[in-house]
Structure 1
Amino acid sequence: METTHLLQLAEEFGSPLYVYDAAKIEAQYNRLTTAFSKVNGLRINYAVKALSNISVLKFLKQLGSGLDTVSIQEVQLGLMAGYAPEKIIYTPNGVSMEEIEEVAALGVQINIDNLSILEQFGAKHPSTPVCIRINPHVMAGGNSNISVGHIDSKFGISIHQMPHLLRIVENTGMHINGIHMHTGSDILDIEVFLYAAEILFKAASNFKELDFIDFGSGFKVPYKKDDIQTNVEELGKKLTKRFNSFCKEYGRDLTLCFEPGKFLVSEAGYFLARVNVVKQTTSTVFAGIDSGFNHLIRPMLYGSYHHIENLSNPKGKERFYSVVGYICETDTFGSNRRIAEIKEGDILCFRNAGAYCFSMASNYNSRTRPAEVLWLNGKGHLIRERETFDDIIRRQVVLDFDAVPALAE
């Protein structure tokens, strides 16, 4: 998006503000489908947890996407957005059997990631198709907080528990129609991912009625100039060849599934914030903005990098700033960053703000959450209103202390 458009949106809708570029989302979706165009059956299931705004879900539906969900609430959002139940896969972790059964009753594809739940569900619902999430014990990502396929991960059924898994399936007579893995975000080495895929292919050969194999996602996107990213085109060539070969060995064509979240929406997102104060200390120049980690927690939570630029003075002389928020504890977005000279009132833009940014926002410090705008066909469309104080207190129940009985003496 152009700087002038972002500034216009900040003026029209106020700050702080989340903006999503629909054209970039579409380009990323097309890039992935093109890379795997020679697969006989391909399904992209967008990971709702990355950015769950219903308008974004509806836009992805228009592109042909399905959904990857991790809670019954995300399933409900998908249904509200118009997705057919069979276009949604549900992969919870540590939820109750009641929630799983409630989702299954909606006709959504169930994906189970532990032996206890698998046995309980299979015993009660043997005819309901189930996908199994395998943990291949492969570390394919660069950040331990978002890598979920390693041996210490809480996710998935260990590949070493395959004999036990097969015994449960045989004893319950349940119908396994898919097999799944997810190594986590920031895949740095395609060969490591392909190694994990071989583990999944071997596991898949144990089941004779599969409809699909789901490779999860974790494609790394660039966060700064010349940053490393997953070469999805190379992965497409290599995995397509191996997948098609496996389908021949298996005896019929299967569907290859991916569950991208960050890959589709991260680079499409911009977070705009206004500078409240420029503060010079003995060692640092702080640019304090009208936001905090209540709106964008990723840098504080796990050290993520978001490129920051001054939209109001893009060609100004560069100086070094630490960009901080208004929360009453340390909330630093970037330390000692080289940014075009900042003045109070300037609009700063945080890049890569489409994934896990608004979806992790909160009302900490009793602050309201920002508005969201979708930039579509050359125009900004409001897709979430800015919260008000009434939204913060809406669910609170004010206790009438005068009506509370006194404690017995």
Structure 2
Amino acid sequence: MNHREHLIQLANKYGTPLYIYDSCKIQNQYRKMKKAFSEIKSLIINYACKANTNLNILKFFKKLGSGLDTVSIQEVELGLKAGFQPRKIIFTPNGVSIQEIKKAASFGVRITIDNLSILEQFGEYNPNYSVGIRINPHIMAGGHLKISVGHIDSKFGISYYQIPHMKRILKNTGLKIEGFHMHTGSDISNIKSFLEGVQVLLQIATDFPNLDYIDFGSGFKVPYTKNDIKTDLSTLSNSITDKFKVFCKTYGNQVTFIFEPGKFLVSESGYFLVHVNVIKHTTSTVFAGVDSGFNHFLRPMFYDAYHCIENISNPNGRFRFYTVVGYICESDTFGLNRKIQEIREGDILCIKNAGAYCFSMSSNYNSRYRPSEVMILNGKDFLIRKRETMQDLIRNIVEIDI
């Protein structure tokens, strides 16, 4: 059975819309990164789980030897439930309350703080708990403004111009720093901006003795089409490895090197299958309306993201132009004016690169159920999330007499 036939079989078995994740692809991406940076003996890869938080995905990363990057206390608790040791989890939130930081500390996870107010509050509460600091390197990077998070007007991180203020807080509270962190953005195709951030972080670190780690974030770009640009790991590795070796020699200590990729590890593992409900002709457009919408797959509408769409029911069909749209009651487009094998009502379309920031950003908008998820593991398919029902929609509703 070929790959296309297997996908159709899974669509028929579990119904659509349906997310499918191939664990082999996840494992290959993880090993690819480990190999690219193999000269760095202290390398740790932490999966940025906001990309896909299904508990089974987390358990698979634990089995691979990965750590975990989390951004909410709920993700921390999911990581613990998946079996990660607390010190294998880094909690790097933004804009959360001191209560959430305190709760994370009670679990014993590593904490990264990204603003001076919380740093001071936490230092007064628990000065013996070493923390990491997220630095804003003032670098514009990333494939879209909404995922560029290291520029001067970003809400993320402590500006490197605020280092003197940060030092004063550390002195006043006695709080210790165990590491520094940065993340400039996602879908970085030009490694020059990433390397600029690396240089900023290493320069700052030289003023702080006894650091345990430096976390360089991620943002590596994956290809969305056959000829799309992707992050050149080999070139990046050569540049960063040399810089890091020089830093450690000058610093006098072998500091742990951390990456926290999310999309790079899981995006290409995912496929989103939908059924075609209707073909609709207008004066200028042929619409293919499917049994899903941006409530399940937000990236095209939110980020203008391009995802390849194939008609796996009619792979040898004549190519024609379609605008693939969803069933949400407003503008809801998966692909505009796409060249796709002839689409018929009842066909199954496959939307690729669906492993990252797809199900995790889904909702119940229009009171629609969220879809099922399936994982392919050791050649077998496993249901890892049931399709929602009406009971799921009303579970937390409190009815009153009206």
On whether the aligned pair clears a TM of 0.5, the verdict is yes
Q: Which amino acid aligns with 1:299?
A: P
Q: How far off is 1:140 after superposition?
A: 2.0
Distance 1:228 1:181 in 2: 23
- 1:158-191 per-residue CA deviation (whole Å, 9 max, x = no partner) reads 0111111111112211110010000110112112
Q: Which amino acid aligns with 2:12?
A: E
Checking the alignment, whether the CA contact within 8 Å between 1:138 and 1:149 is kept in structure 2 is yes
Distance 1:249 1:174 in 2: 25
Equivalent residues in 2 for 1:5-404, closer than 5 Å: 5-401=6-402
Distance 2:367 2:242 in 1: 53
Distance 1:369 1:169 in 2: 46
Greater mean alpha carbon deviation, residues 21-30 or residues 116-125:
116-125
Q: Which amino acid aligns with 2:392?
A: D
- 1:76-125 per-residue CA deviation (whole Å, 9 max, x = no partner) reads 00000000000000011111100100101100000000011111111221
Distance 1:60 1:372 in 2: 17
- Percent identity of the aligned residues? 63
Q: How far off is 1:40 after superposition?
A: 2.0
- 1:4-45 per-residue CA deviation (whole Å, 9 max, x = no partner) reads 111111011000000001000001000111111011201111
Distance 1:388 1:355 in 2: 24
Q: Which amino acid aligns with 1:318?
A: F
- 1:239-294 per-residue CA deviation (whole Å, 9 max, x = no partner) reads 01111111111111011001100000001110000000011111110000000111
Q: Which amino acid aligns with 1:341?
A: E
Distance 1:367 1:232 in 2: 40
Task: Please provide the CA RMSD for this pair.
Answer: 0.8
Structure 2 length normalisation: TM-score? 0.99
Structure 2 SS opposite 1:148: coil
- 1:195-233 per-residue CA deviation (whole Å, 9 max, x = no partner) reads 111100011112112100000000011011110010112
Checking the alignment, whether the CA contact within 8 Å between 1:40 and 1:253 is kept in structure 2 is no
Distance 1:59 1:138 in 2: 33
Distance 1:102 1:192 in 2: 35
Q: Which amino acid aligns with 1:332?
A: T
Structure 1 SS opposite 2:147: coil
Structure 1 length normalisation: TM-score? 0.97
Q: How far off is 1:378 after superposition?
A: 1.4
Checking the alignment, whether the CA contact within 8 Å between 1:221 and 1:229 is kept in structure 2 is yes
Structure 2 SS opposite 1:145: helix
Q: Which amino acid aligns with 1:302?
A: Y
Distance 2:207 2:372 in 1: 49
Checking the alignment, whether the CA contact within 8 Å between 1:142 and 1:186 is kept in structure 2 is yes
Deviant stretches of 4+, over 2 Å: none
- 1:111-152 per-residue CA deviation (whole Å, 9 max, x = no partner) reads 000011111111221110100000000112121100100111
Distance 1:2 1:238 in 2: 37
Distance 2:328 2:188 in 1: 33
Distance 2:365 2:193 in 1: 39
Extract unaligned runs of 5+ from structure 1: 402-409
Structure 1 SS opposite 2:295: coil
Q: Which amino acid aligns with 1:237?
A: N
Distance 2:313 2:279 in 1: 15
Greater mean alpha carbon deviation, residues 15-24 or residues 230-239:
230-239
Identify the residue that residue 404 of structure 1 maps to in structure 2: none
Structure 2 SS opposite 1:253: coil
Distance 1:83 1:378 in 2: 25
Q: Which amino acid aligns with 1:313?
A: N
Structure 2 SS opposite 1:365: helix
